[in-house]
Each structure stands twice: as C-alpha cells, then as structure tokens.
Structure 1
C-alpha cells in the first residue's frame, strides 16, 4: 500500500487535502493530522469516493468532550471507523491490512488499548499540533518505537505543520514511521514536506 503522509496547516476548510488528492493519483491512502477535517467529514467522504482513496486521520465535534475523534474513510466514501478520543483502540481490516488507530497523546497516555492486539499490520497515529519541546519530541519518538516492537507492527504518525499546545509558543512539527522491528523508516522534525510511504517496500520519498 502507498500511503501519502501530509502535514497541512490548520484550516477551516480542507483545501490542502484536496490538492494532495488531486496531485498524487498513485497513493492508496492519505494520513493527515488529528482534528484536521474539523467539521468537513461529509466533504472528505465525497473526496475519498471521487479520488478512490482511503482517508485516515481525525476530526472534531465541537459540542462533545473530548471533541476529537479518530476517523477512517474507505475508497467508497464510507466512514468505517469513528471513535471518540481516549476510548478503546479500534482496528479495521482494510485491503488485507489490520489497521489500529491512535490519536495524538493516546500514544503516551494509554498506548494501544484493546484486549485483542493480535496480527496488527499498521498503527496510524494522527497528531494534533507539534511538540512543545525537544524533550517531548524525543519522548514521543521513543514511545512510538516501543509500540512498533511490542506489537510487531509498522507505526506512522504526523502532526500539523503549525500550531502550539495551549499557547506554549513552541511548535515542533513531527512525523515518523517505524517498521515492525523498531527501525526508523523516517523521523522528521521541522520538515513538513509531503511524503509517500510504500508500506510493502518500507521506503519513503518526498513528493513535490
């Protein structure tokens, strides 16, 4: 599977996602950050169907607490995973891959939270804003590596290109991928270029 990893800026619409779908026709799936879709889920479903792509990330329901939700939309434009943050980790089989979905600080607060963790192929990790310190960056990277090894699964994460946590004034955009042995396929700090990951070949390349 070819997975496009994007780090858009926060926006009220999903113009950046539309652009990436239009200009990267060979991708099978697109991973985007937590909360990026905002309230544009219906539009995202239409885009997934039109471009024949799997969309993986997060969105917000502003009238709920916590407001953030994990979402996975299949190629037909159907929402096949929709769960509230901090609830039990959900797995879905998509095109032969068992995919687990963590949101942002679930990585360090609860990890993979499910009794049935057998046979996981990929864990996706949409992150909200960037890291607020170098120490947090290192902590999250190390925790992601541990999870990859523990569950013998590839893990992929990406944050927005901008934004800071609770007005900290610091935002270090983060993206990464570890293979099931904990080897880094890539680790990105302050580099928000779009990437194409070939999950079968375990290679990554930049997309212009």
Structure 2
C-alpha cells in the first residue's frame, strides 16, 4: 500500500486534501490529522471524495458538539470506522480496528496513543499497520520523546508498523507552543522516519519502506 501522510493547517473546507488528490495516481490511501474534518457536513463530502478517487481515507472529525471523533472511510465511500474519542481515564474505545480490502488497520486518535498498548489487545489476530491521527504538535520536547517512545512500544508489542501525523498549526489548549510531528516506526521498533517541525507531506510505501518528501 502507498499512503500519503499529510500535515495540513486547520481549514474548514478540505482544501489541502482536495489539492493532494491531484496526485491520485501515486497513492492508495491518505492519513490526515485528528479534527482535520471540521464538521459533520464535511464528513459527507469526504465520503464522496473517497468514492470519486477510490481512496482509503483515515482522519478524524469534529461533531456538532465540537468533540473529536474517529473516522475511516473505505474507497467505496462507506464509513468503516466511526466512534467517539476515548476519555483519558478510561479504556480505549472499540472498535479501534477496521478491515479494508484484506488489510487490518489499527486506529488510535491522538492521546489514545497512551491507551493503545493495552487497548488494542484482542481486537484483531494481526495488524497490517496502526494509524495515529494527532490533533496538534507536541507542546514540549519531553512530550515529543514520550510519544515516540510509546509508539515504539506499541509497534513492537503488536509486531506492526505505526504511522502518525499532526496538523502544521495550532497548539495544545492554545498554549502557544507546538512541535509539528509526523513519524513512521516499523514492527521492530526502528524508526523509518521521525519528522520534527517539517510539515511537508510524505508519500510512503508500506511494502518497500520508501519515503518521498513532497514539495
């Protein structure tokens, strides 16, 4: 599978994603950050986009109560994973795995990374990869290192790749500090790439482990 990993700014009308679809012959799926889809009406638009371009879309959206929710859309335009974000003091919500054309894909929404080590147990016999849409960048170098360490632990435990990406703009609770992050860690816990403060999109090939940074 060829996956486009994007780090857009927050925006209301999917402009970045629609522009990236011009590269449609180069990828099979896209990974966009938590909350990239600004409202429920845009979810319907995104389903049509997935169907038109025949692309798997992995991201997150904001509902009418301004709450983040998980979202994965099949190339047919059908939603195959949709749920609330897990509260931090509870277990990871289910489903956190979706099946798409023979692939078993794990899903962790932003801070759910800290619940995934235990929370993904029993949801699939094996995972082809885990997608990790992140809302905004890290608020400190310490958090950056912690999340990479936790992603590495999860990759090794489930013997699978994990891929994460955040928005290029915004900060946690508007604290004014943000380190945009994008990463890909393989099933042995080795980083294929870790991006800090480089918000260009990346085209990655899950089979060959190639990474191309896009202008």
TM-score norm. by structure 2 comes to 0.92
* 1:21 paired residue number: 21
Does residue 33 of the first structure (1) align with residue 33 of the second (2)?
Answer: yes
Check conservation: 2:116, 2:154, Cα contact below 8 A.
no
* 2:125 paired residue number: 118
Supply the RMSD in Å over aligned alpha carbons.
1.3
* 2:62 paired residue number: 60
Q: SS at 2:173's partner residue?
A: helix
TM-score norm. by structure 1 comes to 0.95
Does residue 92 of the first structure (1) align with residue 73 of the second (2)?
Answer: no
Does residue 150 of the first structure (1) align with residue 152 of the second (2)?
Answer: no
Does residue 204 of the first structure (1) align with residue 211 of the second (2)?
Answer: yes
- Provide the rounded CA distance (Å) in 1 between the counterparts of 2:121 and 2:154: 15
Check conservation: 2:4, 2:203, Cα contact below 8 A.
yes
- Provide the rounded CA distance (Å) in 2 between the counterparts of 1:85 and 1:186: 27
Residue segments in structure 2 that go unaligned for 5+ positions in a row: 87-92
Q: Which is richer in helix?
A: 2
- Provide the rounded CA distance (Å) in 1 between the counterparts of 2:201 and 2:24: 10
Written as runs of structure 1 = structure 2, the 5 A alignment for 1:99-114 is 99-111=105-117, 113-114=119-120
Instruction: Tell me the matched-pair count.
Output: 206
- Provide the rounded CA distance (Å) in 1 between the counterparts of 2:105 and 2:118: 12
